[in-house]
Chain A
Amino acid sequence: MLTVTLYIGFAAVIAAMAMNLYRLLAGPTAEDRVLALDTLYINAIALILLVSIQFADRIYFEAALLIAMMGFVGTIALAKYLGRGALMD
């Protein structure tokens, strides 16, 4: 049962990532692209969680944590750039 649900989960996450990529490349606004990248980061965490369950291994957790952190910092950097131009003022 778990195997089947995992496959469903993988399919959903991959489909979601593909949609993010489309939005990222299609835009139309720069904010859309940033939002799509941020979502892609979050979906990447989802993918890692599924892999962790599949392989019953926690070693991927640091990566998931770091993706969450770095995704956030990257997003606010991009958003700040869009909003005011100056990143640090």
Chain B
Amino acid sequence: MKLLLIVLLPLAGIVLPPVLVRAGRTASAWAAATPTALALVLLAGMAPTVFEGGVVEASWPWMPALGLNLAFFLDGFGLLFAGLILGIGLLIILYARYYLSEDDPMGRFYAMLLAFMGAMLGIVLSDNILLLVVFWELTSISSFLLIGYWRHRADARQGARMALAVTGAGGLCLLAAAILLGHVVGSYQLQAILAAGDTITASPLYLPILGLVLLGAFTKSAQVPFHFWLPHAMAAPTPVSAYLHSATMVKAGVFLIARLYPALSGTEEWFVLVTVIGLATMVFGAYGALFKDDLKGLLAYSTISHLGLITLLFGLNTQAGVIAGVFHIINHATFKASLFMSAGIIDHETGTRDIRKLGGLRHYMPVTMWLAAIAAASMAGVPLFNGFLSKEMFFTEVVVESERLGGIGWLLPVFATIGGLLSAAYSLRFVHDVFFGDETGALPRHPHEPPRYMRVPVEILILICVVVGVVPSLAISTVLATAAGGVLLQAPEPFSLALWHGFNVPLVMSVLALAGAVALYYQRDAAERWHERTFPAFTGKGCFESVLAGAIAASRRLTAWLDDGSVQRNVVLVIGTAVVMAAAGGITGGLDAGSRALTPAPLPAVAVWLMGVIATVVVALRHHDRFLALVATGVVGLLSALTFIYISAPDLALTQLSVEVVSTVLLLLALNVLPKETPHESSPGRRWRDGVLAVAGGGGIAALAYAAMTRPLDSISRYFLETSVPGGGGHNVVNVILVDFRGFDTFGEITVLGIAALCVYALIRDEAHTMASADTEARHPRMLLIGSRVMLPLLAVVTVYVFLRGHNQPGGGFIAGLIAAVAMVTQYMASGVHWTEQRLTGNYFPMIGAGLLTAGFTGLASWLFDVPFLTSTFSHVNWPVVGDFEIASAVAFDLGVFLTVVGSVVLMLSQFGKQQPPVEGR
């Protein structure tokens, strides 16, 4: 339970900051910090268990049939990540309080940050791989919102969209991988999958799984060639960059690689794919960072590079590589987050983050300078800071690995050294160009130190950098061993974290890298010229956009091919397909009449049907006269209702009659704004085609119905008839099906109805016509006025009557709702919008809402009695005078249906009615 709370606290806390921001910005920050801190305390409470080698687990079934459970587990690796997410999250919340300006909506920012935090915690604590994918996509979405936080900026919107497209696509790959993994292992439980490494690597599906998992991880962690979204994500506010794009979200990719390490690693394919991509990303990112003039752009490319380094370490398939990788995850999170925050401080206090404009800031912000310098030194791998240690481990590993590989293995340490060199060079540039050198005089603002508490988060992180860097074994080795144990599924062999390992190859590489970096920095102008000559402008963004444009064009072509906007063509395709498929079925399966005896056809019924046929034919022939078509369709509707009565379907007849008049009113409202005649457009050939298709379709349905009805039929109706009274407490099977047996469907349908009504309102609302119109005899003839007002109570009585008896006899909430709606619409027609809305109500939203809530709560009430949603209950009551009758909880549900139908129908019709152009006669 506590484990679930850790994930839920930030998610539940989403509502707090936007509400409390009214009490001030600090209150909003506290509102965000409180759930985070609580979750951190809970996590700390579980830490001792994990340090002793235990695993905390918690699981609830969610959709067990799909294998999707709300399962969480906390091991060493999860603990490390959860701690990073919550700890750095707290610092970011503090930092953002001072970073965001007065104009930025702070409540929204914290709400989205908490949403992201919850999703990220979900990823690292999930014990179900499907659940992990769900949280994975949630991080993509919340990151999209956070990058696009300044929604008025085009670059923010574009960057957000790009990040969502790339990481979202990766998420889909991951979902496919998760399903394949579940298929191979036979369980979606993550721990089961991790324990089944041998089965997975031996499976023929191993390569697809590996490819899909790596696509998910590489897109999230911005590995080459999917790196390009990260620099554009720098349009986000700096706290977001510090949190998502250095410490947490981009680490989700390497988290996934590490988490699935026991399941997927150990093979040649793993080694080649992960190592090569990691190496390429590391060198490419470091090279890119060197030439960025934007502080955050530099840091973004540096992040890409360091993520590549971590990826590479996990690709080596060695225990020491895993330990180094985990160690670098920690170190990178601390120094990179503090660097981002320093960049944010510089931006905040000077108004720019362009390196070319910055310089000499050491005079104005000495403390910030020291903080940034230490963080950058750590990033460069200077001894005494934590970055040095993991870099040394990295160098050691690549040297060991190159000896094992032989052949071209020497490339590994060479490229590693180049990467280290570039990394040190851009770190040097970050510090020297900004804080040293001469003032450029191009600063938009006069720089000074930031507010006290804006610097505190940076100071805390820097403290960690230094402590870990100086006394590593004391500070971090237990954490590291526990976390690495989580990745490896066993306690790692003892390792020593020390500053001094003697004179060896890695040390030489370090020295080379640092010395080379200084040399490169002093030749930076020459290097830049060389860079511009060698690599003409080629950006990942351009590539992405051309791919995107291509995809959009292709989907447009596909859509245009399938649907050219002609309704006639679509109907022809649909009916034609149905006719062809049914004909194929009839030819292969045989279509002959059954053996049941036919019942005699009474003459009146035949006559009624004949009239229906005549009216239909006339509609088809003379549809250009719209009014005639409408009236003749009304005939068909009425005759259908008579048919329903004849075949003993009174509920259907009542519904048909009510719907008929509602649609007549609707069509008249539409006719009023349309030409009275439709133009003649169809060619004779097309008329023949349509005619043949119509006859084939209608005749086919008739043949099918004949074939079905002449066969002995045992349908589900028998079951409904038998269980209606004992199961649903009603004698009207139709109504019992609607409110009980298929209550969930009905609930969905009224929800859709309500949404549709709101959409109609949103599309055509116009307040202009609700004004009082002249109440003249010409507009509202007195006779109609009085006639309709006499009718209103009568209709109300009928409505109540039809509603109440619905459970046992023809009627029910839906039909009653339609009748009430017709009664109200009649008032609109007789007395006008103004009069009606003064007396009834012009606001139907509460009615729709109340209806949906009533239906929903009736369903939920079932839970109080420990039965599934919408199970109805009923009992037999005996009232004096009224007598014996059944009262079912379904009546409350039916009331919800009633309210929603009335609200929706009247809202739609009255809204159309208000749109009528003021036409005088015709």
A contact residues vs B (CB 8 Å cutoff) = 10, 13-14, 17-18, 21, 24-25, 27, 30, 33-34, 36-37, 40-41, 44, 47-48, 51, 59-60, 62-63, 65-67, 69-70, 72-74, 76-78, 80-89
Contact = CB atoms under 8 A, between A and B. Distances in A.
Given A24-B635, A81-B668, A89-B918, A66 B657 contact: yes
Contacts of B829: 76-77, 80, 87-88
Given A47-B604, A48-B642, A89-B833, A21 B918 contact: no
21 contacts: A13-B604, A21-B635, A24-B635, A30-B627, A33-B628, A33-B631, A37-B634, A44-B642, A51-B645, A60-B645, A66-B798, A66-B819, A70-B657, A74-B634, A80-B784, A85-B672, A87-B665, A87-B669, A88-B829, A88-B832, A88-B914
A76 B921 contact: no
B631 A78 contact: yes
Contacts of B608: 14, 17, 47
B650 A63 contact: yes
Contacts of B660: 70, 74
B592 to A, nearest CB: 34
Given A21-B611, A51-B646, A66-B658, A84 B632 contact: no
Contact size range, B: 35 or more
A65 B822 CA distance: 14
Interface of B: 603-604, 607-608, 611, 614-615, 618, 627-628, 631-632, 634-635, 638, 641-642, 645-646, 650, 653-654, 657-658, 660-661, 664-665, 668-669, 671-672, 773, 778-779, 784, 788, 791, 795, 798, 802, 809-811, 819, 822, 825-826, 828-830, 832-833, 910, 913-914, 916-922
Contacts of B634: 37, 74
A88 B642 contact: no
A89 B611 contact: no
A63 B638 CA distance: 11
A81 B798 CA distance: 27
Contact of A18 (B607, B826, B833): B607
Given A14-B607, A86-B918, A76 B784 contact: yes
A80 B660 CA distance: 17
Contact of B668 (A14, A17, A87): A87
B295 to A, nearest CB: 63
A77 B921 contact: no
A4 to B, nearest CB: 15
A36 B638 CA distance: 13
Given A14-B604, A84-B779, A87-B668, A76 B811 contact: no
Nearest to B663: A74
A69 B661 CA distance: 10
A74 B632 CA distance: 13
Contacts of A59: 650, 809-810
A24 B650 contact: no
A85 B916 contact: yes
B825 A34 contact: no
Kindly name the residue among A30, A65, A70, A85 whose own CB sees the greatest number of chain B CB atoms within 10 A: A70
Contacts of A89: 773, 779, 832-833, 916, 918
B517 to A, nearest CB: 79
Contact of A62 (B611, B646, B811, B822): B811
Contacts of B773: 89
Contact of A33 (B627, B650, B778, B916): B627
A27 B631 CA distance: 11
A10 B448 CA distance: 100
